[in-house]
A and B are shown apart, each in its own frame.
Chain A
Amino acid sequence: MKAFPFATAKKIIFGRGSVQQLSDELKILCSGKIAIITDEIISKAGPLDTVKNVLHGAGLEYDIWDKSKSEPSIESAEAAIQFVRDGNYSAIVGLGGGSVIDTAKAVAVALTNPGSLSDWVKQGFTNPLGPLVLMPTTAGTGSEVSNAGVFATAESKYALYSPLMYPDIALVDPDFTRLIPAHITANTGIDALCHALEAYVSLKSTTITDALALQAMKLIPDNLRAAYACGDNMEARTNMSLAALLAGMAFGNAGTVIGHACGYAYVSPSTKFHFPHGYSIAITMPYVLEYNAIANMEKHATIAALLGESIEGLSLRDAAISSAIAFKKLLADLDFPSSIKEVGVTKDMLPDIAKNVFKSTTHVARNPRKITEEAMVKLFEKAYEGKLDCE
Chain B
Amino acid sequence: MDTNMKTFSFSTARKIIFGLGAVKQLSEELQNLGAKNIAIITDTVIGQSEILDKVVTQLREGGFKYTVWDKAETEPSVAGGEAAIEFTRKGNFDGVIGVGGGSVLDNAKVSALSITNAGTLSDWLKKTFQNPPAPLVLMPTTAGTGSEVSNAVAFSTPQGKAVLFSSLMYPSLALVDPEFTMTTPATVTANAGVDTFCNGMEAFVSLNATPITDAFALQTMQLVADNLREAYACGDNIEARKNMSLAALLGGLAFGTAGTVLGHACAYAYSYPATSIHLPHGYAVAITTPYTMEYNAIANQTKYATIAKILGEPVEEMSLRDAAFQSALSFKKLLYDLDIPASIRTTGVTKDMISTIAQNVFQSPAHVARNPRKVTEKGMVRLFENAYEGKLDCEQ
Give A residues with C-beta under 8 Å from B.
1-8, 10-18, 21, 163, 166, 206-208, 210-212, 214-215, 219, 234-235, 238-239, 242, 246, 249
Given contacts A10-B14, A11-B167, A219 and B1 within 8 Å (CB-CB) = yes
A239 touches B218 (CB 8 A): no
Give the contacting residue for A246; candidates B19, B24, B167, B215; CB below 8 A.
B215
Given contacts A15-B8, A18-B7, A207-B246, A5 and B17 within 8 Å (CB-CB) = yes
Give the contacting residue for A215; candidates B17, B19, B214, B249; CB below 8 A.
B214
Is B12 part of the binding interface, using a Cβ–Cβ cutoff of 8 Å?
yes
Q: Return chain B residues, CB-CB under 8 Å to A249.
A: 212
Interface centre among A8, A234, A249 (most CB of B within 10 A): A8
Measured between alpha carbons, how far is A219 from B6 in the docked complex, in Å? 17
A93 to chain B, nearest CB (A): 17
Is B41 part of the binding interface, using a Cβ–Cβ cutoff of 8 Å?
no
B151 to chain A, nearest CB (A): 11
B12-52 vs A: 1/0 string, CB under 8 Å?
10111111111011000000100000000000000000000
Q: Return chain A residues, CB-CB under 8 Å to B215.
A: 211-212, 214-215, 246
Is B9 part of the binding interface, using a Cβ–Cβ cutoff of 8 Å?
yes
A11 touches B9 (CB 8 A): yes
A235 touches B3 (CB 8 A): yes
A11 touches B11 (CB 8 A): yes
Question: Apart from A4-B18, A212-B215, A238-B5, what 12 extra A-B contacts exist at CB < 8 Å?
Answer: A1-B19, A4-B19, A6-B18, A7-B15, A12-B9, A12-B10, A14-B10, A163-B32, A211-B215, A212-B212, A239-B1, A242-B1
Q: Return chain B residues, CB-CB under 8 Å to A4.
A: 17-19
Q: For the complex, would chain B's binding face be called helix, strand, loop or mixed by DSSP majority?
A: mixed
Give the contacting residue for A8; candidates B3, B12, B211; CB below 8 A.
B12
Q: Can you pick out 7 interface pairs between chain A and chain B where the beta carbons lie within 8 Å of each other?
A: A3-B20, A6-B17, A10-B14, A10-B170, A163-B32, A208-B253, A235-B3
Q: Which residues B222-268 have CB closer than 8 A to chain A?
A: 223, 242, 246, 249-250, 253
A246 touches B212 (CB 8 A): yes
Q: Return chain B residues, CB-CB under 8 Å to A208.
A: 16, 18, 216, 219, 249-250, 253
B22 touches A17 (CB 8 A): no
A68 to chain B, nearest CB (A): 26
Given contacts A207-B246, A208-B253, A242 and B211 within 8 Å (CB-CB) = yes
Is B360 part of the binding interface, using a Cβ–Cβ cutoff of 8 Å?
no
Q: Return chain B residues, CB-CB under 8 Å to A10.
A: 11, 14, 170
B312 to chain A, nearest CB (A): 19
Is B210 part of the binding interface, using a Cβ–Cβ cutoff of 8 Å?
yes
Closest 10 CB pairs of A and B: A3-B19, A15-B7, A3-B22, A235-B3, A215-B215, A211-B215, A6-B16, A12-B10, A211-B219, A13-B9
Q: Return chain A residues, CB-CB under 8 Å to B9.
A: 11-14
Measured between alpha carbons, how far is A3 from B25 in the docked complex, in Å? 9
Give B residues with C-beta under 8 Å from A.
1-3, 5-12, 14-22, 24-25, 32, 167, 170, 177, 210-212, 214-216, 218-219, 223, 242, 246, 249-250, 253
B16 touches A5 (CB 8 A): yes
Interface centre among B16, B211, B216 (most CB of A within 10 A): B211
Q: Return chain A residues, CB-CB under 8 Å to B253.
A: 208
Measured between alpha carbons, how far is A12 from B210 in the docked complex, in Å? 12
Chain B minimum-CB-distance residue to A5: B17
Q: Return chain B residues, CB-CB under 8 Å to A206.
A: 18
Q: Return chain B residues, CB-CB under 8 Å to A207.
A: 219, 223, 246, 250
A133 to chain B, nearest CB (A): 13
B219 touches A1 (CB 8 A): no
B15 to chain A, nearest CB (A): 5
Q: Return chain A residues, CB-CB under 8 Å to B12.
A: 8
Chain A minimum-CB-distance residue to B176: A3
A379 to chain B, nearest CB (A): 32
Q: Return chain A residues, CB-CB under 8 Å to B242.
A: 1
B15 touches A17 (CB 8 A): no
Measured between alpha carbons, how far is A15 from B22 in the docked complex, in Å? 36
B218 touches A3 (CB 8 A): no
Measured between alpha carbons, how far is A17 from B249 in the docked complex, in Å? 31
Chain B minimum-CB-distance residue to A171: B9
Q: Return chain A residues, CB-CB under 8 Å to B14.
A: 7, 10, 166
A3 touches B7 (CB 8 A): no
Given contacts A16-B7, A211-B219, A3 and B17 within 8 Å (CB-CB) = yes
B164 to chain A, nearest CB (A): 18
Q: Return chain A residues, CB-CB under 8 Å to B17.
A: 3-6
Chain B minimum-CB-distance residue to A214: B215
Give the contacting residue for A211; candidates B7, B16, B19, B216; CB below 8 A.
B216
Give the contacting residue for B210; candidates A14, A163, A234; CB below 8 A.
A14
Q: Return chain A residues, CB-CB under 8 Å to B18.
A: 3-4, 6, 206, 208
Q: Return chain A residues, CB-CB under 8 Å to B7.
A: 13-18, 21
Q: Return chain B residues, CB-CB under 8 Å to A21.
A: 7
Measured between alpha carbons, how far is A246 from B210 in the docked complex, in Å? 12
Q: Return chain A residues, CB-CB under 8 Å to B211.
A: 215, 219, 242, 246
